[in-house]
Structure 1
Amino acid sequence: MAKLPLGAQTLFIGIDGGGTKCRASIMTEDLQVLGTGVGGPANPFQGVQQAKDSIRTAAELALIDAGLPISGMGELIAGAGLAGVNVPSLFDVMSAWDHPFKEMHLTTDLHIACLGAHNSDEGAVMICGTGSCGYSFVNNQPLFIGGHGFPIGDKGSGAWMGLEAIQAVLLASDDLGPRTIMSESIGDFLQAKGMMIVDKMFGARQGDYAKFAIFVVDAADEGDAVAINIVKEGAAYMSGVARKLWATSPGRMSIIGGLAPRLIPWMDKDMADNLSPVLYQPEFGAVYFAKQALKAAKNNNDPLSATL
């Protein structure tokens, strides 16, 4: 196997695997990023083989970006946080994978997001992007809130807002609901109205609905009553999540995701004021987790026992 041309230092790869994409970054022990690659969906709940392929693709692209040989993947120590492995059977399947790395230390995507956000073993994090959920890790105890998946869950998320917006626009088109400026913005985006919107959205997925969230928050900022109601409901839910997480005394609490900056002003002020900026991205949290796992292994501890 080809050696990585960087001397005797240990190289890590942090893997953040979600339902939309997988992001991997190769780092030195002191967290200097050498290269980053992005692959496809890596939530094994949506397909185990797809998750494995996406991880491998992201790792290969990270090696190329770092100017390192792909054949040296077997020298990397991986920390991997994947969506879906909070389901015990999927954790077992991914743990049993004959992966291409020297070592792979597995946990959930929420855990690495939390570790990265606070650069610490403890903290709380909320995700408000395409989906939504909350997580805290305090005194070696994890707490998961939400994350039930779209469309039955993920309230306050971009996908949830998009679905609410489409429903409101269709009600308005039938004169069964109040008028909203979202009818024009979403209609222009889709180049459709009325039943043509239904036709356009046939078979739409979570990410497709999330594209409409920007129209909702923009309309709310312009004073549109329908949009305001949607945003307020979503913000109230995320405020409730924050309140439950803060009750675990995490020390620090952060919110991440593309929708987060637009939703924070609508959240309960006391919870918004308790939010701290993210220190590092999830890939850094994955490497942090891998380094902690190596330290625990030297002490004959099981580094995974407290992560799920």
Structure 2
Amino acid sequence: GLAGVMNERDASRIAAAFPYRHTAVTDDRPTALNGALGGKDGFLLSVGTGTIAAARTDGVFRSVGGWGFHVGDQASGSWIGREGLRNVLLCHDGFFAHSYLTRALLAKFNDDPNEIVAFSMSAKPGDYGAFAPDVVESARANDPVGQKIIRAGADHLQQCLTALRFKAGDALCLTGGVGPHYACFLPPETTSGLCERRGDALDGAFNFALTQLGKSTEVRT
């Protein structure tokens, strides 16, 4: 379950690098879903530095998004942090009124918007993600800018679920450093089937390995 495995060619190349007789390689979405739901049907929104939206229905795996920070990963911690800084600059330019959040974020750059620009020249997703807790906490405190950002993220996650044909009452697991914080910003009908995760991506990978092993030999303990 490796992030960045985008096709069968990538999977085959990585599998060939291992010394094992049988190696199955996927990207990180199937393992995250399998681990969170314990191999059962349901939906997963795993939102950390990046974003994974995936579903298993009648044993069939589907996913949307997860295309990386530069062209996707909306609602993720990195996206939240970048949106926070983007709004700081908009407020500085007078497009919107400053809020407690934007002033607090600007203070981290010595109240100099040019330092934000300099930061952005080399910032990686995780660097932007470091500001996500400030935005999340401000949204919980009803800061208007924080609320705008988190509600936009929640709207995107709802669109992901709609694309995956989610229905009210379906099992839904919110994981990652940011995912659970979206629970109170999603519609009640979406969270009516909210459930705790049963495991992590490593558990999902082991479950897949056991399934593959069971197809070829008897499992002995």
TM over 0.5: yes
Task: Mark the CA change 1:170 to 1:262 in structure 2 (over 3 Å): closer, same or farther.
Answer: same
1:159-209 per-position Cα deviation (integer Å, ceiling 9, x unaligned): 111111111101111223221222232233344521122123321111111
Distance 1:235 1:152 in 2: 18
CA distance, structure 1, for counterparts of residue 13 and residue 168 of structure 2: 33
Greater relative contact order structure (CA < 8 Å, 6+ sep):
2
By percentage of residues, which structure has more helix? Answer: 2
Question: Cα distance, 1:287 vs. partner?
Answer: 0.7
Q: Which has the larger radius of gyration?
A: 1
Report SS of the residue matched to 1:124.
strand
Shift of 1:251: 5.7
1:290, CA displacement in angstroms?
0.3
- 1:46-82 alpha-carbon deviations (Å, 9 max, x no partner): xxxxxxxxxxxxxxxxxxxxxxxxxxxxxxxxxxx11
1:246 and 1:253 in contact (8 A); partners too: no
CA separation of 1:85 and 1:121: change in aligned 2, threshold 3 A: farther
Displacement after TM superposition at 1:231 (Å) = 0.8
Matched AA of 1:133: I
Q: 2:145 aligns to what SS in structure 1?
A: helix
Instruction: Give the distance between the partners of 2:168 and 2:101, measured in 1 at CA.
Output: 40
RMSD: 2.3
Gaps of 5+ in 2: none
The counterpart of 1:259, out of the listed 158, 165, 178, is 178
CA distance in 1, matches of 2:96, 2:166: 39
Q: Whole-Å Cα distance in 2 between the matches of residues 201 and 85 of structure 1?
A: 27
Q: 1:140 to 1:223 in 2, by over 3 A?
A: closer
Deviations 1:116-157 (CA, angstroms, capped at 9, x unpaired) = 112225332111111112111233422111112113211111
Q: Could you say which residue in structure 1 is the equivalent of 2:81?
A: 162
Alignment of 1:148 onto 2:67:
yes
Cα distance, 1:100 vs structure 2: 4.8
Map Cα deviations across residues 243-272 of structure 1 (whole Å, 9 max, x no partner). 443538996331211001211111111112
Cα distance in 1, alignment partners of residues 204 and 128 from structure 2: 29
Percent identity between the two aligned chains: 26
Counterparts of 2:91 and 2:120, CA distance in 1: 17
The answer to whether the 8 A contact 1:136-1:248 is kept is no
1:118: which partner in 2?
A: 37
Other-structure match for 1:279: 198
Q: Does the 8 A contact of 1:137 with 1:250 survive in 2?
A: no
TM-fit CA distance, 1:283: 0.8
Work out whether 1:183 is the aligned partner of 2:116. no
Structure having the larger proportion of residues in strand: 1
Greater alpha carbon shift after TM alignment, 269-278 vs 83-92 = 83-92
> Partner residue of 1:38?
none
Cα shift at 1:87 = 2.4
- Which one of 27, 44, 49 corresponds to residue 130 of structure 1? 49
TM-score (norm. length: structure 2): 0.88
Cα shift readout 1:204-248 (whole Å, capped 9, x = no counterpart) = 111111111111111212222122111111111112223443538
Counterpart position of 1:85: 5
Q: Which runs of 4+ in 1 moved over 4 A?
A: 100-103, 248-251
CA distance in 1, matches of 2:210, 2:65: 29
Tell me how far 1:278 sits from its aligned partner.
0.2
**Kept after mapping to 1: 8 A contact 2:78/2:125:** yes
1:107 is paired with a residue whose SS is: coil
Aligned with 1:221 (options 140, 147, 153):
140
3-state SS, counterpart of residue 99 of structure 2: coil
Gaps spanning 5+ residues in structure 1: where? Answer: 1-80, 300-308
Moved more, 130-139 or 103-112: 103-112
| Bigger Cα displacement from structure 2, 232-241 vs 113-122 | 113-122
